[in-house]
Structure 1
């Protein structure tokens, strides 16, 4: 049984972020060898929040003996270098990060720009999408330097981390390498879920961004939901929103939300540009219909991924015209 042998506290550390729900959480499991899951936001404010919360519970930064990463997004890996410098913990991270961080920046830029162009985004939007992708990779592989990782974990692994024995689940979709961690804690089966099984909302599909693999993002998210649903979990410790016990209801909400997103995409393609003419639509057109006049780049990946999935499952068709992919009803 995956467990931490004695009764232990689990302390939540919250950091401010400038997107909903305006916080991200990491967790300190107070085993004899303290375990930190995720590392919050970078910068002085993030370090201050981490150190102050640790001190509130009687810990110093150098007390951390193990550091587990759920996925390589900025709000989950921000303080890794600070923790490693102070404590030299054993660091565990999803194995897929190794290959992802080896990605050539020029190759990334080329692929994202081409996928954005094919999706019908304007030149200005393509520039934004490329800049975000390149900066994200550059920044994240500095925050989580591969050389500091001691143990690369993969789905299906059972890993001894101090006193705890942890089951690793590979749960892609939100991020392609994302892992959740299951263990028994104080007589409960708990899931430290990162950016999955979040109570306030379904996490957005980002997966691999507009890089290679975007077409597998929706399938990956469904796979993650299936894997998590197979568990019997008493309590969830997510990266956003509260700690909760609404495990099954939250998973059902997420699955229904994704189903509705796909259904709406089919409807939007069928309605054309709102005039009932079934005019072929690009992914950028669908994103505009979904957001109205707001910036569409933040949902570009989810929209492209959804249309790719619908095409692969025979629910819509695509034609190429002027270097762009246009979708029509099946």
Structure 2
């Protein structure tokens, strides 16, 4: 696996996780003002310090922290860097509004959506708790007051020795930005969880909040935007550093198409609710992350007229 660019200014820091592909990566861009791109999980602090030390750095040496999206495995060590230094922190602008969300309002929307989806009581309570806990945890890891520069889609932002453009790539996460830039004569993409190999990231968007209805459309839009980029190399948050963004985009588009086709087939076979379809897709695998993707897929197919649905006793049922 590659760990650096040809010229050696990008250093990959990789940490073990217990989901495929078994690791998460962030990147240290060396220069007169070291830049950290994403920040792994809170549990990775010891390994983070160790890997930085091998490169001759401490957390306090980092001058800039650039966030692609506010999932816990990409912002987990922001507090460590903030505690030991005074970095300039950059994050997608829409995260500010998301993190200022009233937890009670989020709980109410997720509860209503999960009730309408037909979740059993225990599964419903788990989904609601996860949504609220994720909001509260993530905004503690990336406090809006600690962000110095909110980056809007389309912005060009100077960060230390480099300039990055901001491409909005929702679908996996609603606020996600990927950052094309030039490093040592190469056109590269600091991709976060988009443009990764060898698999497509799950469609989570905003989880089981109201944005699930637009999640598939958002993901397709993100792929359209990535397809317009001409980059030599991709530095992703999972999977290997690679040189085939076009191939990754084409694979992800095909994977989304296949998921929608699979969901359509399952509804034709008699699986009529979100939990039923999700469990059928999961089989022996953990269904947790397939639930938001399944809910989003069914909402997309319903909205486009490829499936019909009706509410019966407060639960939405789908049919061909």
The TM-score normalised by the length of structure 1 is 0.93
Which secondary structure does the structure 1 equivalent of 2:202 belong to?
coil
Is the aligned partner of 1:20 residue 2:20?
Answer: yes
| Equivalent position of 2:274 in the other structure | 283
Q: Deviations over 1:8-66 (max 9, x none)?
A: 510001122221112110000012111110111103xx122111111111222221111
CA distance in 1: counterparts of 2:52 and 2:243, whole angstroms:
25
Q: Which of 39, 54, 57 is residue 56 of structure 1 equivalent to?
A: 54
Which secondary structure does the structure 2 equivalent of 1:18 belong to?
coil
- Contact preservation (8 Å) 1:66, 1:90: yes
| Equivalent position of 2:193 in the other structure | 195
Q: Which of 65, 68, 73 is residue 67 of structure 1 equivalent to?
A: 65
Q: Deviations over 1:87-144 (max 9, x none)?
A: 2110000011101111111111111111111111111110111111111111001001
Q: Deviations over 1:285-307 (max 9, x none)?
A: 11122123655332110001011
Q: Which of 112, 115, 119 is residue 114 of structure 1 equivalent to?
A: 112
Q: How many residues are aligned here?
A: 314
Is the aligned partner of 1:323 residue 2:314?
Answer: yes
User: Structure 1 stretches of 5 or more lacking a match?
Assistant: 1-6, 274-280
CA distance in 2: counterparts of 1:58 and 1:293, whole angstroms:
44
| Equivalent position of 2:304 in the other structure | 313
Question: Would the alpha carbon gap of residues 8 and 163 (structure 1) be closer, same or farther in structure 2, given more than 3 Å must change?
Answer: farther
Q: Which portions of structure 1, spanning 4 or more consecutive aligned residues, are displaced by more than 4 angstroms? A: none
Q: CA RMSD in A?
A: 1.2
Q: Deviations over 1:57-77 (max 9, x none)?
A: 122222111110011111111
| Equivalent position of 2:163 in the other structure | 165
CA distance in 2: counterparts of 1:149 and 1:90, whole angstroms:
7
| Equivalent position of 1:216 in the other structure | 214
- Contact preservation (8 Å) 2:35, 2:63: yes
Which secondary structure does the structure 2 equivalent of 1:306 belong to?
helix
| Equivalent position of 1:40 in the other structure | 40
Shift of the alpha carbon at 1:212?
2.1
User: Structure 2 stretches of 5 or more lacking a match?
Assistant: 1-6
- Contact preservation (8 Å) 1:33, 1:163: yes
Question: Would the alpha carbon gap of residues 294 and 200 (structure 1) be closer, same or farther in structure 2, given more than 3 Å must change?
Answer: closer
Shift of the alpha carbon at 1:312?
1.1
| Equivalent position of 1:226 in the other structure | 224
CA distance in 1: counterparts of 2:137 and 2:301, whole angstroms:
33
| Equivalent position of 1:206 in the other structure | 204
Q: Which of 71, 74, 77 is residue 75 of structure 2 equivalent to?
A: 77
CA distance in 2: counterparts of 1:139 and 1:244, whole angstroms:
32
CA distance in 1: counterparts of 2:87 and 2:186, whole angstroms:
26
Q: Which of 110, 115, 121 is residue 123 of structure 1 equivalent to?
A: 121
Q: Deviations over 1:214-269 (max 9, x none)?
A: 10111111111011110001100000011011211111110000000001111111
- Contact preservation (8 Å) 1:68, 1:92: yes
Q: Which of 228, 236, 239 is residue 238 of structure 1 equivalent to?
A: 236
| Equivalent position of 1:276 in the other structure | none
Shift of the alpha carbon at 1:183?
0.4
| Equivalent position of 2:256 in the other structure | 258
